[in-house]
Amino acid sequence: MEDFISQNEFQSEMSAIEEANFNSKCDEILSRADKFGIQLEVVYSAFKHKEQFPSASLLECLQVGAYEWDVLS
């Protein structure tokens, strides 16, 4: 007989995977900004975006800051 996980266990695993992916993307942006020595500038731009759009996620804010400083293309 095979072991199956419950729907709650499945949802929990999926949430953990999504959170890890989210954190990985944020870390990648900050690492790339650090390579150019503009991590502070990217984070400042992210905060400015958050002021304008309070419901924006951390990742969205970092992405906006990264595009503003040409860290991401």
pLDDT digits (tens, 9 = 90+) for 7-25: 888 888 899 999 999 999 9
* pLDDT band per the 50, 70, 90 thresholds, residue 2: low
Residue 1 has pLDDT above 60, yes or no: no
In a domain, residue 2? The reply is no
In a domain, residue 41? The reply is yes
* Residue of higher predicted confidence among 9 and 38: 38
Mean pLDDT calculated for residue range 50-61:
97
> What's the domain range around 38?
7-68
In a domain, residue 73? The reply is no
Closest CA to 66 of 27, 32, 23: 32
**Complete DSSP assignment for 24-45:** HHHHHHHHHHHHTT-HHHHHHH
In a domain, residue 61? The reply is yes
- What is the reported pLDDT for 27? 97
In a domain, residue 51? The reply is yes
Residue 3 has pLDDT above 90, yes or no: no
The count of domains in the chain is 1
In a domain, residue 14? The reply is yes
Contacts of 66 (CB under 8 A, 6+ apart): 29, 32, 33, 42, 72
CA distances from 47 to 27, 38, 57, 64, 68 (A): 16, 14, 11, 10, 12
